[in-house]
Structure 1
Amino acid sequence: MRNAEATRERILEAAMDEFSSFGIAGARVDRIAKNAGCNKNLIYVYFENKETLFTTVLDKHLTRVYEEIFFTPEDLAGYAIKVFDWAMTHPQIVRLMTWYSLEQKEDNLTERASVRDKKIKAIMDAQNDGLVGKTFTPGFLMTAVMALATAWTPTHPFGPSHDPVAVKIPRETREAIARAVSLISKGE
């Protein structure tokens, strides 16, 4: 059993590299198997098909995002900085999410939708408690925070570079994101 778990993890790691580099359509199960050091058929035994493997990889890493970035509706500027820092240090996961957005016909990640709905509800509660301005809807605020926090990632169309090592974001950018989100969340 332990060997099966280790093999499954190697497949998921190889799949992460493959999918973040080539997306779902461009990824090749042969390369994943080779890089995982296993038989191609074993991937189908564990994951049924390439799409299920992709979704499994994405779910695994989105769960990490949800666990590692604590949501603070009363401090959306602070949350935006946490998302920014995380996105800048995890470009492979950002690329994976970008591929998902580009290639999926519908968003079938129920946990992602559930987490987003909880955040929107928390923003609404913070608005009702007077901690966040009511100029903008909770959904707009959540989208604005995420857009500002991830706009400088290498995969963003307006991002600084496709080479994460070459990306050097000045402290001023980080501070500007915090100021912008603070202004938007106050509703002024």
Structure 2
Amino acid sequence: MGNAEETRERILEAAMEEFSSYGIAGARVDRIAKNAGCNKNMIYIYFENKEALFATVLRNNLTRVYEEITFTPDDLPGYAAKVFDFAMTHPDLYRLMAWYGLEQKAINLTERTAVQQKKIKEVMDAQSAGLVGTTFTPGFLLTAIMALATAWTAINPFGPSYEPNALKLPNETRNAIAKAVSLIIKE
């Protein structure tokens, strides 16, 4: 890896920390440059502006999620358990996603929409094949699965407050999430 690529990677790492802590509006390019050990102008050379840098950080991390957590419509409880494990070990990404949710008008992620539509189609196909119940729409099922699987992240106001001991027993919580998903998809 050359110096330019190393600098770019340091910027992305520093930006991940900055954006997951402060969002787009609160993030400071000066702090990113300082933490990356580079000149502020380098950020603008590589990424044009703060919003483009945020979008790059988010895209890179979502791509990593898509690669590391295989979507399995024939095993949605297992998928929910994998999402739970990932969410518990990557709190910075879920904070970044929370900021994206609050500030998404600034960023257009067509790749994310394409992945979501593909998942909806796969659940629809699983419903047609009789593998998943049809009481709920594919979009509702996927929303419920993601809500359950990420309920105990630091950004969620409900999981930790209603069930504060859940994170002390991660295996039991993971199993409860998988069982809940199993019950929901039977309908």
TM-score range, shorter chain: over 0.9
Given residue 150 of structure 2, which amino acid in structure 1 is its aligned partner? T
Mapping of residues 68-147 of structure 1, within 5 Å: 68-105=68-105, 108-147=108-147
The 1-side partners of 2:154 and 2:138 are apart by 27
Residue deviations 1:1-52, cap 9 Å, x none?
8111110000000000111111111110000000101100110111011010
Give the match for residue 158 of structure 2. Answer: 158
- Identical columns (%): 76
Aligned to 1:11: 11
Q: For structure 1, which segment, 97-106 or 178-187, has the greater mean C-alpha deviation from structure 2 after superposition?
A: 97-106
Residues 15, 54 of structure 2: 8 Å contact kept: yes
Shift in Å, 1:57: 0.3
Gaps of 5+ in 2: 162-166
Q: Give 2:164's aligned residue.
A: none
Deviation string, structure 1 residues 66-114 (Cα, Å, up to 9, x no partner): 0000111011111000000000000011111111101222661111111
SS in 2 for 1:99: helix
Letter in 2 for 1:135: T
Shift of 1:156: 1.1
- What is the total number of aligned residue pairs between the two structures? 182
Amino acid at match of 1:6: E
Q: In the alignment, is residue 24 of structure 1 matched against residue 14 of structure 2?
A: no
TM-score between the two structures when normalised by the length of structure 2: 0.93
In 1, the alpha carbon distance for the partners of 2:69 and 2:132 equals 20
1:129-159 Cα distance to aligned partner (Å, 9 max, x none): 1111111111111111111100111111224
- Which aligned segments of 4 or more residues in structure 1 are displaced greater than 4 angstroms? none
Shift of 1:171: 2.6
Q: Provide the C-alpha distance between the structure 2 equivalents of 1:3 and 1:106, rounded to a whole number of angstroms.
A: 31
For the residue of structure 2 that corresponds to 1:134, the secondary structure is coil
Q: Tell me by how many angstroms 1:168 deviates.
A: 3.0
Structure with more of its chain in helix, by fraction = 2
- Conserved in 1, the CA contact under 8 Å of 2:151 and 2:158? yes
- The whole-number CA distance in structure 2 between the counterparts of 1:110 and 1:116 is 10
**Kindly tell me: are residues 131 and 99 of structure 1, through their superposed partners in 2, closer, same or farther at Cα, counting changes over 3 Å?**
same
Structure-2 change in CA distance of 1:94 and 1:132 (3 Å): same
Determine the structure 2 residue equivalent to 1:179. 179
Q: 1:50 to 1:107 in 2, by over 3 A?
A: closer
Whether the aligned pair in 1 keeps the contact of 2:55 and 2:107 (CA below 8 Å) is no
Q: CA RMSD in A?
A: 1.5
